[in-house]
Structure 1
């Protein structure tokens, strides 16, 4: 090789070596910078900003969640549980941690087997939840234990089972259903006592901090409690479970036998206002007799008919206008004419059922046989103002004091809205609407020596610490004197011994009660259109009359321990079997007999009542006339 070629080769070699060294140095510099950056990041992560990054990591895997305080229980007066909460599984997914949504939705739909739901349609619904952008979607709440266990065993990624409280009626879902009320799927009160006492029952929500695994499930380590959940308070009712059950049993039998639309029974302690039983039942379209979800004992408002005559004569006696033996000449027909605001003459006629010559009758005879015209004669002596004032004192036209959700106040029009006929009509229990709780409370006032005590359903509230708070006594007021109350009790005893309430009697006991049968009222659109174009509000569209049969009273009459109202709503109009004396009175007697045995109330010996009961009943028997019994 020539010298110049060797020189060129050496130069190339030197250039190559130099280039490689340059690249090597460059790589070393880059690696050095990388090492410095990594070192700096390690220092930053572990020393300078370790707290910040630690918090960020914790926030990604640790969450805070609400823990609901267990809802308080509802118990009867003897401590028996009526409504409690217990854990019920629910199934949910985290859509961000699931795949194969189509397959999993089909599997879930198959295992859930929801009643009345098409499996294919359910799978489509579930699939939409798998496609949700959220981190939480319910698949089903209040799932069965079998479904929850089966799905857990499938071990489907992103599909989880947890538990939440569900309300359960220990004595069966029918017992006192309308009284207890219900809750939503979130365990919040929606009706009845559950709604009325929501604040006391619901408890306080707590906060828990839990750690999640990579698949989003809770790591089974001890959770940190940030705020402790507090159990709701328990309610102890005045209701007696055994009596309530028996009342519902006997009421359902009567409804079935009478082919009625429904019925209501309320039993109260006159001296305290405590409600011992409150039953409301209806016949469904399928013919099944069930407890109503709403409490018709406080929401059902109707014309009471002749049971209100006890209030009319209580007012008469308390005003000193007469006593049981006081007599008046009573015609079989009363005609009233008056001039209305338009200057036109109006006429109203009231009759007893049977025609008879004008005859002398005592107050006892009038009430015992439920004479309409006899009641009107005494009401005219009493006057509008007095009758109105006493009815208000007895609790009509106003809330009962229970403060129960959706309670009706009934209708007692202000006195300035009365026309001359209202005195007669209302004295007979028409032109006024009342609720069952108002009726039984009014009769309780007579039984309680003339003292009205507002009704009550809750006796005590027990807080989470076990402290028992007795609710304040309900308001009371004097309606009539004790002497007047005793006289009215004697009159009502005669109704059962000798009059329309005979089938309400109980062997060995004195029962005080009054019957009443009213025509049901229909709204204009549901009433009968007569040939002249006017509508009769007491006939249905087909021209058929419907009835509500009532018996209200108390027992034992000499020293009342219990008061009761029995209402049979719309019994079949078969001959005279729809009258209260035939359909409601026997049930009153049956329940009274059972109650007296249940509470071991001994029969009282025959005692001399007032002179009223020693007088022979005058005149012929007067049966139901017009719209009352």
Structure 2
């Protein structure tokens, strides 16, 4: 007969059995709830814990040159990110932070501090935290192989300049880490270039790696549009090489070159470069070819004579007595009587000069005399019609409109100073486009950097042209071309000559302007804005023109900023003209423009260039060249 258990022990056994019975019932009920009553709910919850939604970034459109050569493209760049919600418990997050810190150098401190920083991301309440943007592929592969739960590798497009980060840098512009345009054409055409973001579902395995899912893409991403530029990549590269060489040799602070097609306004090359503190010449990240405003000096004399000749006041052969000094007494805005003097470089008293002589040898006083004949109202009208004092409609970010003061604010001496290119500020793109108008039979065509936009379906959207306008007659434009060829053949532009071709160009050397904080203080407490704090003068040397003069295919502007003032080598005739000639020669060969013999020029004399184009049609006896 079995021995009876004591009452207390028997009671304890029943309690234990009761407890386990309750547990069994609860577990059974839970299993019944999971597998029968709320099966769909818990299946969905489990899926949600291992399925995440990710953005699909639409690839940014490419930027190509006029020949279809790629300039800026996008390619997939890995990034490393954390999903804190799937990274495990606190202990696991600490361990993963330490492992990642051993493989990554994120903030340049020791591993302990790195791990602390990474842990803050693991402890974030969000489901997405960037760990590394623009990770190199090797690092991404290492992190992927670690198979850390909650740590993932994604890919996003990164901008890449095919010909290096220097070619047309300021023109193309830049994007930020999110691939959003921040400057240049990248910013101007952001809405066209950016892709449309899509959405996909990604399923994660237990170790955090991705696995295929049937849900797939919820919304397709689409690529941004491509930009087709007017720029010629080959010519652009040559321009930058030669410009850099000139900046180095002249010990200048920088330089700008623009080459344009006069009849279309299309910009074939646009380069802006600076000398760095290390003595290396680099392309600028901004684009002063469009954003700079500066005093151009004598290159503006062509505009003054364009007005004089177009108004019938004189022609290329007209002669007039010209003094070597012009004196003007005038009352300033404060009522004080002032005396202003303008001189030519050499003293000659009074001398009879032809218009051609004045422009060939860049006479200040001769230009002022004829500018006074033109008058301030008409000079102002021609300058505005040539595009000065206003933006060019290029639409480029930060474009300068220059400074051309309203006519009603002109002082008594402004007519004299502005007629010779002082008292006015212009942008490089304004200046070369004005010369293009002279080259284009007197018709102004707005500059253009983009020919068309191509969307992801290959449909082209051509950039609409700004309506052109006539500024001077075709006859006047030919006379100005004749005067400008004399500048190169016999005057200050001789170093811009190209064998076998007629070049029309004008030189100009201006004093650089300094604000009061950086200018020289005179004994009377006033400041001379044309001297630096040490009392030294600095120069901007410009040559602008077009070629071949008989049948212009190109306009060009060359600016050398602040060349070393050594033995008068800072003059545009010495530092800018040779570069103009070199680039003119190279571009003519590159585009296979045949030389024009003197015999052919003689045969073409007496024929007129049609205003509709550069075809020669026999109509009058005016000299073409």
Normalising by the residue count of structure 1, what TM-score does the alignment of the two structures yield?
A: 0.89
Q: Is the 8 A contact 2:441 2:478 kept in 1?
A: yes
Contact 1:67–1:207 (CA under 8 A) maintained in structure 2: yes
Q: For the residues of structure 1 that align with 2:110 and 2:291, how far apart are their CA atoms?
A: 39
User: Does residue 428 of structure 1 match 2:420?
Assistant: yes
1:289-328 alignment to 2 at 5 Å?
289-328=281-320
What is aligned with 1:620? none
Cα distance between partner residues in 2 of 1:317 and 1:566: 26
- Kindly tell me: are residues 440 and 353 of structure 1, through their superposed partners in 2, closer, same or farther at Cα, counting changes over 3 Å? same
Deviation at 1:320, TM superposition (A): 1.1
Structure 2 matches for 1:483-502, cutoff 5 A?
483-502=475-494
Unaligned runs of 5+ in 1: 1-12, 612-629
1:64 offset after TM fit, Å? 1.7
1:70 and 2:59 aligned: yes
Q: What is the 5 A alignment of 1:405-484?
A: 405-484=397-476
Determine the structure 1 residue equivalent to 2:614.
Answer: none
Distance (whole Å) between structure 2 residues aligned to residue 132 and residue 20 of structure 1: 53
- Return the alpha-carbon distance in structure 1 between the equivalents of residues 441 and 239 of structure 2: 27
How far the C-alpha of 1:144 sits from its partner, in A, is 1.5
Does the CA-based 8 Å contact 1:490-1:610 persist in structure 2?
A: no
Q: Residues 473-520 of structure 1, C-alpha deviation per residue, up to 9 Å, x if partnerless?
A: 233111111111111111111110111000001000000000000000
Q: Is 1:276 paired with 2:264?
A: no
Task: Please state how far the C-alpha of 1:134 moved relative to its aligned partner.
Answer: 3.7
Distance 1:369 1:118 in 2: 69
Shift of 1:40: 6.8
Aligned CA distance change for structure 1 residues 63 and 578 (closer, same or farther; 3 Å): same
- Structure 2 partner of 1:173: 165
Single out whichever of 486-495 and 244-253 deviates more from structure 2: 486-495
| Cα deviation digits, residues 91-122 of structure 1 (max 9, x gap) | 22344567466665565455345797777765
Residue 555 of structure 2 is aligned to residue 563 of structure 1: yes
Q: Please show how residues 220-259 of structure 1 align to structure 2 within 5 Å.
A: 220-221=212-213, 224-259=216-251
Q: Tell me which moved more, 214-223 or 391-400.
A: 214-223
- What's 1:605 paired with? 597
Residue 192 of structure 1 pairs with residue 181 of structure 2 = no
Alpha carbons 1:67, 1:229 under 8 Å: kept: yes
How far apart are the structure 1 equivalents of 2:604 and 2:523? 57
- The secondary structure found in structure 2 opposite 1:316 is helix
Aligned residue for 2:556, secondary structure, equals strand
Give the 3-state SS of the residue equivalent to 2:436 in structure 1. Answer: helix
Contact 1:385 1:415 in 2 (8 A): yes
For residue 90 of structure 1, report the CA deviation from its aligned partner: 1.5
Range with bigger deviation, 160-169 or 256-265: 160-169
Alignment partners' CA distance in 2, 1:85 and 1:393: 41
How far is the alpha carbon of 1:222 from its aligned partner?
A: 5.5
CA deviation after TM superposition for structure 1 residue 54, in Å: 3.6
Higher relative contact order (CA 8 A, sep 6+): 1
Report if the CA contact (8 A) 2:202-2:212 is conserved.
no
Tell me how many residue pairs correspond in the alignment. 598
CA distance, structure 2, for counterparts of residue 203 and residue 452 of structure 1: 36
Could you give the per-residue CA deviations for residues 420-469 of structure 1, whole angstroms, max 9, x where no partner exists? 11111111111111111001100000011111111111111111011222
| TM-score for both structures, normalised by structure 2 | 0.89
Partner SS for 1:315? helix
Contact kept, 8 Å, 1:539 with 1:546, in 2: the verdict is: yes
CA RMSD in angstroms, aligned pairs only: 2.9
State the match for 2:50 in structure 1: 61
CA 1:134–1:346: 2 relative to 1, 3 Å: same
Partner of 1:5: none
- Greater mean deviation of Cα atoms: 254-263 or 129-138: 129-138
Change (3 A) 1:26 1:575: closer
Taking structure 1 as reference, are residues 97 and 120 closer, same or farther at Cα in structure 2, changes over 3 Å only? closer
